[in-house]
Amino acid sequence: MKWIIEIILFLTIMMVSGPFWSLLKAKSHFSGIMNDKDNLIKFLNFWGKPKFFEEASVLKPVFGSWQNNIDSLSNVHFGTLLKTRNMCLIGTVIILSLSWFFLPISFCIFNLAFVLLLALAPVNSSLQNQNYGHAQGVLMNLYRWGKESENFKTEQCPKDLETAWVILKEWASN
């Protein structure tokens, strides 16, 4: 019976703590998407200029301004990831606590080491897709903001999106 509990707790830890580490890395992954010129151009080229311009043309500043659109998208995206990350952390702590209560110390140390080892794994594909979807919304809003504001300069652009704006402007003009 002890082996069955060990296997169940181990599999549960693997399922809960793996996503925790990916979610913890989400914001830096998104920054990497937006600040890596080659990656961003590859993403924009995959999307295609006609499709990008078509989708961007129907956007409206529904939250009052393009900046508010971008801020709202980011707050919702990262807020959701934060809540999910916290739930995974709580689940991991509960499972580790249960393993300390029910299993020998050697197995508990193994579980803890495994949880820490999962931190080395890359961001999972599902989260990468979510971040690229968020990047899509941010880039379209950024493009429309720059296009509709005659005086739009890089200084007006949020600091974390300056590189993306320069890359997007260069990509759209070619």
Q: What DSSP state is assigned to residue 122? A: P
Residues 6+ away with beta carbon under 8 Å from 128: 29
Whether the full predicted model's pTM is greater than 0.95, yes or no, is no
User: How many C-beta neighbours within 10 Å does residue 4 have?
Assistant: 8
Answer whether residue 146 shows pLDDT above 90. Answer: no
Give pairs for 107-114: CB < 8 Å, separation 24+: 107/6, 111/9, 111/10, 111/13, 114/10, 114/13, 114/14, 114/17
Q: Check residue 154 and give its pLDDT.
A: 63
Q: What is the rounded distance in angstroms from the CA atom of residue 112 to the CA atom of residue 95? A: 10
Q: What is the rounded distance in angstroms from the CA atom of residue 174 to the CA atom of residue 168? A: 10
Q: How confident is the model at residue 25 (pLDDT cuts 50, 70, 90)?
A: very high
Q: Check residue 157 and give its pLDDT.
A: 78
Say which range, 4-13, 70-79, 127-136, 150-159, has the weakest mean pLDDT. Answer: 150-159
Q: What is the mean pLDDT of residues 155-172?
A: 85
Q: What is the rounded distance in angstroms from the CA atom of residue 115 to the CA atom of residue 21? A: 9
How do residues 32-71 score in pLDDT, each as one tens digit? 999 999 999 999 999 899 999 999 999 999 999 898 999 9
Strands (DSSP E) contained in 18-137 are none
Q: What is the mean pLDDT of residues 5-26?
A: 89
Q: What's the maximum distance between 2 C-alpha atoms anywhere in the chain?
A: 71
Q: Which residues of 114-145 are buried (b: 16+ CB within 10 A; e: fewer)?
A: ebeebeeeebeeebbebbbebbbbbbbbbbbb
Pick from 150, 137, 146: nearest CA to 55? 137
How do residues 61-120 score in pLDDT, each as one tens digit? 999 989 899 999 999 999 999 999 999 999 999 988 888 887 888 888 888 899 999 999
Say which range, 36-40, 114-118, 130-134, 156-160, has the weakest mean pLDDT. Answer: 156-160
**111: enclosing H helix or E strand:** helix 105-117
Say which range, 30-44, 128-142, 143-157, has the weakest mean pLDDT. Answer: 143-157
